[in-house]
Amino acid sequence: MDTRLLKALQADPGLQRRAAEALRSAGRRAALELRRDGTDPELAAAALTLAELRVKARAKFGERADELYFTREGLEQATRWPVAERRAARLARHADEVSDLCCGLGTDALALAQAGLRVEAVEADAATAALAGANAEALGLEVEVRVGDALAAPLRAAVFSDPARRGGAGRTFDPAAYAPPLDRLLDRLAEAGAAAVKLGPGVRREWLPGGAEAEWVSVDRDVVEACLWLGGAAEVPRRASVCKDGTWHELTGTGEQRAETGGVGRYLYEPDGAVIRAGLVAELAERLGAHTAHPDIAYLYGDELLRSPFARVWKVEEIWPLNAKKVRRMLADRGIGTLTIKQRGTGIDPSKFRNELKLKGSEEATLVATRVGKTHAAILCSEL
């Protein structure tokens, strides 16, 4: 959205309301509905796009989405509100002023301001910076937004940065291709007292600087990001932060420990993706009194049932060799017609394997295809 259209929309809350209402009541005919009262077609289209994006944005922002200004790309890249809010509270323990370098639409800047920090937000793209300013105004928060280069901006006592991971060629997983490139950003942040840098959740170990804390964050089992904590803000080598039904849980450790290996137990635990990526499976195993059945596979087994926000748990019913014909016969004998198939470390394609099973029957179960010691096994489990 260009700055002219943004200003026109900001000046006309009535049009924003009519667009949201037209979208609800008229669906695809909403544009006609809006233009009937003489609204400029370009402005009507911008108001409708915004109304659509606000509906989508509720998944990340809850009801405050209805006050905010978005672009499609900006919304995709924006941090979800509970994650931004939590990070802001942690940074606020280190300083009372913060630079948000690469602020985008300003989600993190808003959360930082709401946490009581004085925020200077820097954004390279002028139209995006204008949206960040409009968003601060919409929530009644004070954020100083500047158009500029993150690598040249002056640093406040604390710094947050969320470099762009999307370019002309789409999403990038390579930190050297972030904008700005991660190594240059980290060089710059070496001067900051306390800093946090948001990364893609797939970031590899070799990109994690020594002395930094690397945190992986999941929300309702979806690993949404990694975050590097630098300088005075680094507390532990690794952290997994898991938000389940609106409550946060944290597991910390070195990321270097290996879980003990043994046989399949009465219960099978599947660690949350944030725990696996943070390399904290051994720490979780210790809490659960559990172990792996293969050193490289992150399923845990134990004989005691312990509920944990960091893992899903199933009751192990039977263990068979991973052979489609045998498994088919066993499932048929038990009348299992609805089967969830999970696989790790066996290389099978679950949908092809399912076709070979010719499922029939009224019972439900989960089948975990995995490695147990040197063998490939099919573990029949029931949900608890």
Ligand X SMILES: C[S@@+](CC[C@H](N)C(=O)[O-])C[C@H]1O[C@@H](n2cnc3c(N)ncnc32)[C@H](O)[C@@H]1O
Q: Which residues bind ligand X (CB under 6 A)?
A: 77-79, 102-108, 122-125, 128, 149-151, 162, 164, 179-180
Question: What angle in degrees, to the nearest 10, is found between the helix axes of 350-357 and 324-333?
Answer: 60
- Three-state DSSP class for residue 228: strand
The least distance separating ligand X from the CB of residue 146, rounded to whole angstroms, comes to 9
For residues 148 and 337, which CB has a smaller minimum distance to ligand X in the complex? Answer: 148
CB nearer to ligand X: pick between 57 and 372: 57
Closest CB to ligand X among residues 69, 299? 69
Whether residue 180 is preceded by a cis peptide bond, meaning omega within 30 degrees of 0, is yes
Nearest distance from C-beta of residue 124 to ligand X, angstroms: 4
**Whose Cβ is closer to ligand X: residue 124's or residue 236's?**
124
Distances (CA, A) of 50 to 15, 69, 141, 344, 361: 11, 7, 21, 42, 48
- Closest approach, Cβ 227 to ligand X, in A, equals 11
Which amino acid, residue 222?
D
CB neighbours (10 Å) of residue 178? 25
Report the Cα–Cα distance between both ends of the chain, in Å, rounded: 48
Which C-beta is closer to ligand X: that of 76 or that of 304?
76
**Which CB, 174 or 286, lies closer to ligand X?**
174
CA distance 46 to 169: 26
Shortest separation between residue 9's beta carbon and ligand X, angstroms: 18
> Which residue lies nearest ligand X, judged by its C-beta?
104
Can you tell me the distance from the alpha carbon of 18 to that of 135, in angstroms, rounded to the nearest whole number? Answer: 20
Angle, CA 341 vertex, CA 224 and CA 336 arms, to 5° = 140
| Shortest separation between residue 317's beta carbon and ligand X, angstroms | 44
CB of 262 to ligand X, least distance (A): 43
Cβ-based nearer residue to ligand X, 126 or 306: 126
Residue placing its CB nearer to ligand X in the complex, 23 or 122? 122
- Closest CB 132 distance from ligand X, rounded Å: 7
How far apart, in whole angstroms, are the C-alpha atoms of residue 261 and residue 94? 41
Beta strands in 124-237 (DSSP E): 143-147, 158-161, 166-167, 170-171, 194-199, 213-219, 222-231
State the nearest-atom distance from the C-beta of 107 to ligand X, in Å.
Answer: 3
Q: How many CB atoms lie within 10 A of CB 193?
A: 15
Give the nearer residue to ligand X in terms of CB position, either 75 or 285: 75
Residues in the chain, total: 384
Residue 51 burial (C-beta neighbours within 10 Å; 0-12, 13-18, 19+): buried
Q: How far is the CB of 98 from ligand X (least distance, A)?
A: 13
Question: In DSSP terms, which residues pair with 371 in a beta bridge?
Answer: 376
What's the CA gap between 146 and 67, in Å, rounded? 22
What span, in angstroms and rounded, lies between the C-alpha atoms of 351 and 193? 51
Contact indicator for 154, 93 with CB cutoff of 8 Å: no
Q: How far is the CB of 139 from ligand X (least distance, A)?
A: 13
